Amino acid sequence: MSLFAIGDLHLSFAGNKPMDVFGDRWENHAEKLLQGFSCVEEGDLTVLCGDLSWGMNFEEAREDFLFIDRLPGKKVILKGNHDYWWSTAAKARRFFAENGITSIDILHNNCYFYQDIAVCGTRGWFYEEETGAAHDKKIMLRELGRLETSLKAAGDREKLVFLHYPPIYQKYECPEILALLKEHGVRLCCYGHIHGKGCRLSFNGWRDGTEYRLISADHVNFTPVKIL
């Protein structure tokens, strides 16, 4: 039984949302994901770090989630900035149940236990993503609270954190999230959101006892990264 992670599947079976703005490697990327997930076995767990479907609501996202459900192993998902279908965790779970989707669970104000490891996380935030400092701060504090709730739910287990937004990128840092990871002794933080040429500018390495890894789909060749 292994733990994997990948972010930014950007599926769009109900529409036509090309991703080639981020490079040729996105051509036929659903097929590449099918091939990439061949390394995952039925007993494994994969954390999907947001931006899963371009669907604007559950109906538009249905085929995307049926595709994800057919991929091998259990999947735990968190919200990305382009997951417009997202409403509430309760509504998502009801949608999954109504459509026979059994392999997907949600990481949102909770944690998910994998053997002796606590899988924690939330979307995170970039201050630059919206205009208006007050608006930015409100969203950042909300995300910080969700991450803290997730980490506290883990108790004294070893904690791994999965985010959509990077807490470090070029000269940008989110000091509140970095401090929270340090406080809880998180040894690994995986994140997505960054694509194309931006991947070269991402931070992959150690900072204050935490290792940071970019795991967006195009960066990892549409193949889930084995964490444990």
Question: Residue 53 is part of a domain; what is its CATH number?
Answer: 3.60.21.10
Element housing 79 (H / E): none
Q: What is the pTM of this model?
A: 0.94
- Residue 170's Cβ-count burial label (10 Å; 0-12, 13-18, 19+) is exposed
Task: Report the SS3 class of residue 212.
Answer: strand
23 vs 41: CA distance, rounded Å: 30
Phi, psi (5° rounding) for residue 206? -105, 145
Kindly give the confidence (pLDDT) of every residue in the chain, 228 residues in length, as a single tens digit, with 9 standing for 90 and above: 899 999 999 999 987 777 777 778 888 999 999 999 999 999 999 999 999 999 999 999 999 999 999 999 999 999 999 999 999 999 999 999 999 999 999 999 999 999 999 999 999 987 555 555 666 788 889 999 999 999 999 999 999 999 999 999 988 889 999 999 999 999 999 999 999 889 999 999 999 999 999 999 999 999 999 999
Query: 191 and 210 in contact (C-beta within 8 Å)?
Result: no
- β-pairing, 188-191 with 210-214? parallel
HSE of 170 in the Cβ direction (CA atoms, 13 Å)? 8
Lookup result for tokens 């909300």 = 142
Q: Which amino acid type is present at position 189?
A: C
In terms of residue numbers, what domain contains 90? 3-226
- Paired tokens of 2: 């292994």
Residues in the chain: 228
**Distance between CA 52 and CA 86 in Å, rounded?**
10
Total domains in the chain come to 1
